[in-house]
């Protein structure tokens, strides 16, 4: 079974790297079903879903990843980005702030955190 998971993961990664994001989700979803706690699989699947504009599903993957590895700045960042794409700016603020705190040297983390805060503030009633 391990070899099957590895093969599925490798096929998914190859498709992801070639830019065939929708196709990459197929083997990566199967790999996740076999190894739901494997962070590398969930991250790759989340990336493939995000690039396929399947933001709700991507958010689910990155939320699971961030919950199981709270110091994974990339998982928090990607969760926040997926929530932003869904228009859920209030919810995006927290994971983006966590990512920016975990890796303060990452300017893009701070930029997206600030965008989410501005968007969330515009949504609040005056």
Domains and CATH numbers, the chain: 1-53 (1.25.40), 54-126 (1.25.40.10)
Among residues 66, 6, 3, which one has the least CA distance to residue 39?
66
Give the integer Cα–Cα distance in Å for 57 and 35: 17
pTM over 0.75: yes
How sure is the predictor about 124, in pLDDT bands with cuts at 50, 70 and 90?
confident
* Contact yes or no for 43/74 (Cβ under 8 A): yes
Of 6, 38, 1, 9, nearest in space to 26 by CA: 9
User: Is 58 buried (19+), middle (13-18) or exposed (0-12) by CB count in 10 A?
Assistant: buried
Q: What is the pLDDT of residue 2?
A: 56
Would you tell me the crossing angle of helices 107-123 and 73-85 to the nearest 10 degrees?
Answer: 40
Report residue 123's pLDDT band, with 50, 70 and 90 as the boundaries. confident
> How many of the other CB atoms lie within 10 Å of CB of 48?
27
Q: How many CA atoms lie within 13 A of 41 on its CB side?
A: 21
pLDDT band at 50 (very low <50, low <70, confident <90, very high): very high
């Amino acid at each position: 079974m391990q070899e099957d998971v590895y093969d599925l993961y490798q096929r998914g990664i190859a498709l992801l790297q070639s830019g065939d994001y929708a196709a990459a989700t197929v083997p990566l979803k199967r790999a996740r079903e076999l190894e739901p706690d494997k962070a590398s699989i969930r991250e790759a699947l989340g990336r493939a879903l995000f690039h396929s504009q399947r933001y709700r599903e991507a958010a689910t993957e990155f939320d699971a990843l961030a919950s199981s590895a709270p110091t994974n700045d990339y998982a928090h960042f990607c969760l926040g980005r997926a929530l932003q794409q869904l228009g859920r700016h209030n919810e995006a603020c927290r994971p983006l702030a966590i990512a920016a705190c975990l890796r303060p040297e990452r300017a893009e983390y701070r930029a997206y955190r600030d965008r989410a805060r501005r968007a969330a503030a515009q949504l609040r009633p005056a």
